Amino acid sequence: MSRFIFLTFNGLSFGAVYAALALALVLIWRTTRVLNFAQGAMAVATAYVALSVSDWTGSYWIGFGAALAAGFVLGAVVERVAFRGADRMPPLNTIVIGVGLLILIEAVMGMLYGSANRGFPAAYSTRAYSVGSTALFSKQDVFTVGSVLVLMLVIAVLLTRTPQGLRMRAAAFAPEVARLLGVRVGRLLTLGWALSGLVGALAAMLVIPTGLGLFPQAMDGVFILGFTGAVVGGLESPVGAVVGGVLTGLALSYASGYIGSDITPLAALVLLVVVLLLRPTGLFSGSQVRRV
């Protein structure tokens, strides 16, 4: 039982990270119908920015802020440079562009920083509090879940309570009509990508310190789990992405805790295939046209 409790908290903490990554994917998918396969690599790049800035300034938190800012800028740049005409491209082309960026960004990081695994400090202690002999959660876990929650609330308020959010939803819902009504659709797409880059950066800053380490391919596995989370929730719904990410985190925490940690990639594949075959639109989409 104590193991189950520990695995649950562990799953919630990792689930928060997958939820953030899933949200980053969904933010882009809803507006541009692009599944950004470079999301993980972009997030790794921002973690390297944090590493450099922290080394330079000596402050962890300035580095943390720099990573989020870098994610925001990188998201916007990637949209402007590589995905500007994505709505007119066949889906296959956008996938290949994403994969190309993935290879390119990871290689550039390798050229700048080397392929070795660099230690990356956590914001808070990763030693778990325990009650009796039951390990529960660490300060870092609380920070992870808390910061993801705060960011999601900010995005939810931005999307549903501000004029800018209304324009963004309009641009995603009916780009032509929105354009006729004076909404700068192109600019809002860029903003969506920038937000997504920021969310991805947060995910990297939270997951890389927890045993993963920083190397160019660090987020490859995490990206697949974030993708799984997004698919479990249904790619259309931000709320679904968050819940899907948390469910994925829990499922994989139990699988790796009870079967073995080397089973994680396989468990992710099984979860992905089962969800796609049984409920291709995800658990949280109503009656929608099937797009799988």
Partner 1 sequence: MALLRSTLVRHLVLLALGALALVLLTGSLSTFHNYELAGLGAYVCTAAGLTVLTGLNGQISLGHAALMAIGGYTVALLQIRFSDRAITGLWVLPLSLLAGAAVTGVAAAVVGVAAARLRGPYLAGVTLALGVALPALTSRFTSVFKGDQGLSVPFDPPPASLGANFAVERWQAWISLGAALIVLFFLANLNRSAIGRHFRAVRDDEVAAQLSGLSVPRVQILAFTVSGVAAGLGGGVFAVSLQTASPGSFDLTLSLALLSAVVIGGLGSLAGAVWGSIIVVYLGIVLRGFVDDLGLSAASAQKLHDNLPNAAFGLLLVLVMLILPGGIQGLLRRLAGVAPVDRLRRGRPEPFAAAIAQHSSSPPPSGGQQ
Tell me how far, at minimum, the Cβ of 52 lies from partner 1, in Å: 15
* Alpha helices by DSSP H, the chain: 2-32, 39-57, 60-82, 91-113, 139-161, 163-173, 175-180, 185-207, 219-233, 238-258, 264-278
Tell me how far, at minimum, the Cβ of 106 lies from partner 1, in Å: 7
The Cα angle at residue 102 between residues 17 and 100, in degrees rounded to 5: 150
Tell me how far, at minimum, the Cβ of 96 lies from partner 1, in Å: 5
Tell me how far, at minimum, the Cβ of 281 lies from partner 1, in Å: 10
Give yes or no for residue 291 binding partner 1 (CB under 8 A).
yes
Q: How far is CA 239 from CA 101, 208, 214, 236, in A?
A: 28, 24, 29, 9
Give yes or no for residue 288 binding partner 1 (CB under 8 A).
yes
Q: Tell me which of 73, 95, 128, 156 binds partner 1, using CB under 8 A.
A: 95
H/E segment holding residue 135: strand 134-138
CB nearer to partner 1: give 138 or 175: 175
Q: Which amino acid is at 226?
A: G
Tell me how far, at minimum, the Cβ of 209 lies from partner 1, in Å: 22
Q: Please give the structure tokens belonging to residue 16.
A: 């928060």
The 3-state DSSP class for residue 164 equals helix
Q: How far is CA 76 from CA 28, 82, 83, in A?
A: 11, 10, 10
Q: Return all residues near 54 (Cβ < 8 A) that are at least 6 apart.
A: 60, 62, 63, 64
Give yes or no for residue 106 binding partner 1 (CB under 8 A).
yes
Give yes or no for residue 173 binding partner 1 (CB under 8 A).
yes
Tell me how far, at minimum, the Cβ of 11 lies from partner 1, in Å: 19
Q: How many residues bind partner 1 (CB under 8 A)?
A: 64
Tell me how far, at minimum, the Cβ of 224 lies from partner 1, in Å: 5
Give yes or no for residue 177 binding partner 1 (CB under 8 A).
no
Interacting residues with partner 1 between 11 and 50 (CB under 8 A): 29-31, 33, 35, 37
Give yes or no for residue 278 binding partner 1 (CB under 8 A).
no
Structural contact between residues 231 and 244, judged by C-beta atoms closer than 8 angstroms: yes
Give yes or no for residue 263 binding partner 1 (CB under 8 A).
yes
Q: Tell me which of 210, 237, 248, 253 binds partner 1, using CB under 8 A.
A: 237
CA pair distance 151, 80, nearest whole angstrom: 24
Give yes or no for residue 9 binding partner 1 (CB under 8 A).
no
Q: Tell me which of 52, 126, 147, 217 binds partner 1, using CB under 8 A.
A: 217
CA pair distance 50, 197, nearest whole angstrom: 14
The Cα angle at residue 143 between residues 138 and 146, in degrees rounded to 5: 125
Of the candidate spans 108-116, 118-126, 142-150, 249-257, the one that interacts with partner 1 by CB under 8 A turns out to be: 108-116
Give yes or no for residue 168 binding partner 1 (CB under 8 A).
no
Residue recorded with tokens 């997030």: 43
Give yes or no for residue 272 binding partner 1 (CB under 8 A).
yes
- What is the contact surface with partner 1 in residues (CB under 8 A)? 29-31, 33, 35, 37, 82, 85, 88-93, 95-97, 99-108, 110-115, 169, 172-174, 216-217, 220-221, 224, 227-228, 231, 236-237, 260, 262-266, 268-269, 272-273, 276-277, 280, 288-289, 291-292
